[in-house]
């Protein structure tokens, strides 16, 4: 009986350790390989470009973390920029200003700042408001924020990869918004539940790539439905694009 108690305690310890590692972004299936380290002009910071490999069933991603110069690259995902584009260009424009240049692609992370470092982007990718939706943008009740649904996948001629960003009410939709939601779907709706909570309802058609529960002070709730609406065949035909194949 004592042996069984020890075994239970051991298993519980392993579970606690696994949960702790997962909460820190550690994934035992993933490996980070440093490609380049770029030191800031004052020598205090560094931008680390690395390749992240999470196994044979996933694509390699190329990510960037901004860290203190002496810090070691963590085993988790990058804290600044993540996409499938290989070797984006990274350059310091000042002690606390970093420029990231990348070709046509849709990053699944693109922070505007990390700690006290401001991040600027240059890209050929053009975002487009998802005008096929009934309400592609929705303002918060106090008119301080707006949720915007847009198309930003520049890699393939598809319209099913919808993204959502939360922007200031008067802010223009940038080419590199820091998205709170990215999913392979052609139908979603957004509803503000007060000034600090956004609800996103979407039709589940494929992978959900990004679903952040919070951006700043704004909470984000998600709700998915299995039943799909009628395909937007007319839109597909007019724009000569095809929906993402269902998985």
Residue 154 forms part of a structural domain: yes
How does pLDDT run across 17-63, given as a tens digit for each residue? 444 444 444 566 899 999 999 999 999 999 999 999 988 777 889 99
In a domain, 19, yes or no: no
Whether residue 229 sits in one domain with residue 137: yes
**Same domain for 174 and 85:** no
pLDDT tens sequence across 190-224? 999 999 999 999 988 877 878 899 998 999 999 98
Residue 14: inside a domain, yes or no? no
State pLDDT tens for residues 142-191.
999 999 998 865 544 444 578 899 999 987 777 666 789 988 888 899 99
Residue 8, pLDDT > 60, answer no
Q: Are residues 133 and 232 located together in one domain of the fold?
A: yes
Q: Is the domain of 93 the same as that of 183?
A: no
Tokens 């009740």 appear where?
A: 141
Rounded Cα gap, residues 69 and 43, in angstroms: 7
Q: Strands of the chain (E only): list them.
A: 31-39, 45-53, 61-68, 81-83, 89-94, 97-102, 109-110, 113-114, 117-123, 128-129, 137-139, 145-151, 161-168, 181-184, 188-192, 197-203, 208-211, 214-215, 218-225
81 and 112 fall within a common domain: yes
Report the distance separating Cα 247 and Cα 199, nearest Å. Answer: 25
Domain boundary residue among 89, 123, 157? 123
Domain tally for the chain?
2
Q: Quick one: tokens of 148?
A: 């915007």
> Is 6 a domain residue?
no
134 lies in the same domain as 117: no
Using alpha carbons, select from 200, 214, 81 the residue that is nearest to residue 147. 200
Whether residue 142 contacts residue 191, with contact meaning beta carbons closer than 8 Å, is answered with no
| Residues 45-78 as b or e (16 or more Cβ within 10 Å = b) | bbbbbbebebeeeeeebbbbbbbeeeeebeebbb
Task: Say yes or no: 112 and 190 in one domain.
Answer: no
Tokens standing for residue 214: 């919070």
Does residue 17 lie in a domain region?
Answer: no
Q: Using CA atoms in the order 103, 220, 190, 80, what is the torsion angle rounded to 10 degrees?
A: -10
Do the beta carbons of residue 211 and residue 192 sit within 8 Å?
Answer: no
Do 149 and 229 belong to one domain?
Answer: yes
Together in a domain, 48 and 149 = no
Q: What is the largest CA-CA distance in the chain?
A: 71
- Report yes or no on 47 lying in a domain: yes
**Residue 108 within any structural domain of the chain:** yes
Are 106 and 189 part of one and the same domain?
no
Domain holding 116, by residue range, is 31-123
Which of these three, 60, 93, 123, is where a domain ends?
123
Answer yes or no: do 66 and 158 share one domain.
no
Rounded to whole angstroms, how far apart are CA atoms 58 and 26? 16
The last residue of one of the domains, among 123, 139, 161, is 123
Q: Are residues 119 and 166 in the same domain?
A: no
Q: Rounded to 5 degrees, what are φ and ψ at 20?
A: -65, -40
16 located within any domain = no
pTM value? 0.53
């Amino acid at each position: 009986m004592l042996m069984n108690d020890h075994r239970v305690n051991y298993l519980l310890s392993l579970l606690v350790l696994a949960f702790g590692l997962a909460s820190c972004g550690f994934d035992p299936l993933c490996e980070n390989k440093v490609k380049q380290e770029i030191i800031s002009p004052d020598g205090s910071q560094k931008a680390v470009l690395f390749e992240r490999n999470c196994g044979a069933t996933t694509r390699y991603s190329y990510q960037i973390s901004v860290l203190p110069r002496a810090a070691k690259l963590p085993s988790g995902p990058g804290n600044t920029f993540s996409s499938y584009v290989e070797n984006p260009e990274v350059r310091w424009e000042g002690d606390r200003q970093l420029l990231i240049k990348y070709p046509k692609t849709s990053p699944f992370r693109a922070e505007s700042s990390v700690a006290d470092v401001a991040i600027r982007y240059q890209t050929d990718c053009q975002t487009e408001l998802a005008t096929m939706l009934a309400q592609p943008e929705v303002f918060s009740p106090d008119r301080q924020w707006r949720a915007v649904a847009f198309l930003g996948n520049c890699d393939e001629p598809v319209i099913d990869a919808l993204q959502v960003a939360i922007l200031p009410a008067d802010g223009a939709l940038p080419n590199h918004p820091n998205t709170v939601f990215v999913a392979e779907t052609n139908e979603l709706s957004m509803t503000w539940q007060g000034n600090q909570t956004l609800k996103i309802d979407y039709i589940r058609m494929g992978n959900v790539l990004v679903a952040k529960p919070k951006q700043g002070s704004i909470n984000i709730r998600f709700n998915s439905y299995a039943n799909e609406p009628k395909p937007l065949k007319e839109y597909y035909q007019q724009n000569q694009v095809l929906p993402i194949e269902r998985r």
